[in-house]
Structure 1
Amino acid sequence: MEHRELGNSGVEVSEIGFGAWVVGTDWWGDRSDEQAVGMVEEALDAGVTYVDTGDVYGHGDSEEIIGKAIDGRRDEVTLSTKIGYDFYDNPQAGHGELPKELNREYLTEAFEASLDRLDTDYVDVLQLHNANVDEVTPEVRDLLREWKESGRVRALGWALGPSIGWLAEGDAAVEYEEFDAVQTVFNLFEQEPGRHFVETIRDSGPDTSVIARVPHSSGLLNEQVTPDTVLEDGDHRSHRPKEWYETGWEKVDAIRFLEDPDHADGTRTMAQAAIRWLLAHDEVASVTPTFRDGDDIAEWSAAADVPPISEAEYDRLEGLYARNFDIDRDDGMDVLRTSVDGEDIEAAGLDKRAASY
């Protein structure tokens, strides 16, 4: 497993990370706390040492599980958590988004609670969880700097979401000197705004890195959702329209050449190729797939060892993406979310309509 630095922070993360949302909720299947701890330990043994959790995942459950899993191994782990959602005073309704609090008093209390659950006195990376650009005030930035200067936080990030978009927020993360990372949905099929952030960082200098989540496009690129898959109502992927999956399967067929690279010995699975494509961008520090079991951990962590994407393959993918993979139907999901009435999307010249938050 190779490692990359987050911006210029000095904090190194494994190229493939563990997205600990999976062990804090039942959105990706039920498992006991013992099984969840075992998954994290298995990932660490495979070299996946960047662990990305958040206080809202299971309302603290994920952090407690991670705290147990890394007990005695804290020095092996680059530990990240997120704060900003007020789940203490608000019940969770399905997959709905909770209210956010980003004032100094709330963030301080939330951070202390996270440290207690993780059983540590510092985190390597602290991320603001889906904060809107107008919520990250000078007061908030001052607080983050204080934590960083005190050593309780080694690097800072801004996690975008919950859906795809929030370009103004990502641009602010790249612009503000406090932030070392911006986390966003980024994959072969959903390249914006991740591509925009990569290009901005490339132009402005490597002070910020991208952490890519949903690298497998919600089950398409790891082929865990196929034409024969029946998604249950509680499955988090069921919000995708039928058209999105139908066009997605055609896109997967169009990139089958990635499984049998012609420039090097060896093969890759589609899931491994999707990760390697993201890591072809120097600006991407870590990719955090959603490991559901030991088989996923074994296959996806091994992506570090399969042939990288060649220049010829990359160029071929660029052409396919520019032509919408030669598909002339709408996928039903061409909306980038925005907190600034689409001004960020329009200014970037992206060809997708914007939906206000």
Structure 2
Amino acid sequence: MEYRKLGHSDLEVSAITFGAWAAGGWMWGSTDRNDAIEAIKTAHEYGVTSIDTAPVYGQGTSEEIVGEAIKGIPRDQVQLLTKFGMRWDLDKGKLAMHSKDNDGNKIDIYKYAGKESVIFECEQSLKRLGTDFIDLYQIHWPDETTPIDETFEAISRLIEQGKVKFAGVCNYNAAQMKEAEETLKLVSNQIPFSMVTRGIEKETVPYCIESNKSILAYSPMERGLLTGKITPDYKFEEGDHRADLPHFQPDFVKKTNELLDKIKPIADEHKASLSQLVLRWTIEREGITIALAGARNAKQAKQNAQAIDIKLSKEELKTINDYVDHF
């Protein structure tokens, strides 16, 4: 595995980080708790020391699973990345979405990052994760109802108390990052990035490179689309949010699979899967520090970790980049 420092910090994380959204079940149809725990343990055995989760993933379920999976692993051999600012148990802030929990009950989720809420959420996350501190604490989405300085003053207090090591953001643009930094120095921004979702390369990536901020690319596999296993007539499980997304409509799936057919010979040359090639390509992109990859079972977790073993030549990278640029 390769390990990379986040921003100006001394926090080293694995270039491929375990993304634990699907482990929580919520919006992914379902999850098997034992399979999810085994996936995290297997990932760690193969060098994936960093795990990214959030309270809203299964309304606490994902964090609990992560906490259970890391029991017995020395705390200095794992980095816990979690988030705050998405409340399903409080109707404050701005309504983000109507949803259902894992039991099918209707819930409303709000973007809210008021000071007292941030402190409360941190305490809850520490309990679920079974730890004394969080390595990277990230606001999940911008909260337009709370002044940015109020939110990050709360994080400053948590850092002073030793409950949080470093602060990051998710889904922030360059201007929002600048404003947050007037209160607290950030180390990272977690944002969506993949071969077919590259909007951040225009403004956010250049800002992060210039200001020494790491980018944690989430959905580098475009929620499974870039595995090559999704066909135009693919049927999703009940409760799987992907069914309604534009990227999963037949025409886009067809176009994506044509791109994957073009790069597959490079994967074959390295005796790798398309998923592994896509992950390796992602962490080779300028400005991208790590790629978050989810896994539902041990086999997938091992495969994701082994993507690090692919060594792409400059010529191969150029070939892939040319195909991606013409997508």
- Scaled by the length of structure 1, the TM-score of the pair is 0.79
- Which amino acid in structure 2 is aligned with residue 200 of structure 1? Y
Matched AA of 1:220: L
Residue 243 (structure 1) aligned with residue 257 (structure 2): no
- Which residue number corresponds to residue 104 of structure 2? none
1:97 deviation in Å?
A: 6.8
Q: Secondary structure at the match of 1:115?
A: helix
Which amino acid counterpart does residue 301 of structure 2 have in structure 1? Answer: I
Q: For residue 307 of structure 1, what is the aligned residue in structure 2?
A: 311
How far 1:226 moved relative to its partner?
Answer: 2.4
Q: CA deviation at 1:312?
A: 2.2
Give the equivalent residue in structure 1 for 2:198.
Answer: 191
Counterparts of 1:209 and 1:63, CA distance in 2? 23
* 2: CA distance, partners of 1:260 / 1:281: 21
| Residue equivalent to 2:139 | 128
SS of aligned partner of 2:30: coil
Deviation at 1:146, TM superposition (A): 2.3
Deviation at 1:199, TM superposition (A): 2.3
Amino acid at match of 1:312: E
Q: CA–CA distance in 1 between the matches of 2:187 and 2:134?
A: 14
* Cα pair distance change 1:134/1:251, threshold 3 Å: farther
Q: In structure 2, how many angstroms separate the alpha carbons of the residues matched to 1:138 and 1:171?
A: 11
- For residue 205 of structure 1, report the CA deviation from its aligned partner: 3.8
Q: Secondary structure at the match of 1:145?
A: helix
- AA at the equivalent of 1:311: K
Further displaced range: 141-150 or 57-66: 141-150
1:77 is matched with: 78
Alignment match, 1:216 = 221
Partner of 1:33: 33
Tell me the residue number matched to 1:119.
130
TM-score by length of 2: 0.86
Structure-2 separation of matches of 1:107 and 1:14 = 27
Secondary structure, aligned partner of 1:81 = strand
RMSD across aligned C-alpha pairs, in angstroms?
Answer: 2.6
Work out the percentage of aligned pairs sharing the same amino acid: 30
Q: Which has the higher contact order (CA 8 A, sep 6+)?
A: 2
Structure 2 residue matching 1:127: 3-state secondary structure: strand
Q: Distance in 1 between matches of 2:108 and 2:204?
A: 24
Q: Distance in 1 between matches of 2:251 and 2:32?
A: 35
User: Whole-Å Cα distance in 1 between the matches of residues 201 and 147 of structure 2?
Assistant: 21
Give the secondary-structure state (helix, strand or coil) at the position aligned to 1:268: coil
**Closer/same/farther in 2, CA of residues 277 and 195 from structure 1, 3 Å limit:** farther
Query: CA–CA distance in 1 between the matches of 2:122 and 2:82?
Result: 9
Residue deviations 1:153-202, cap 9 Å, x none?
Answer: 111111128xxxx5654665688752111011101111111564322223
* Correspondence 1:200 to 2:246: no
Summarize deviations over 1:176-234 as a string: whole Å, max 9, x none.
752111011101111111564322223x242x100011111222221231245222442
In structure 2, which of residues 291, 294, 314 is the aligned counterpart of residue 290 of structure 1? 294
Residues 39-97 of structure 1: CA deviation (Å, up to 9, x unaligned): 22122112111110111111111111111111221222100111111212369624987
Per-residue deviation, 1:313: 2.8
Task: Note closer, same or farther for the CA distance 1:312–1:199 as it changes in structure 2 (3 Å cut).
Answer: farther
Amino acid at match of 1:193: I
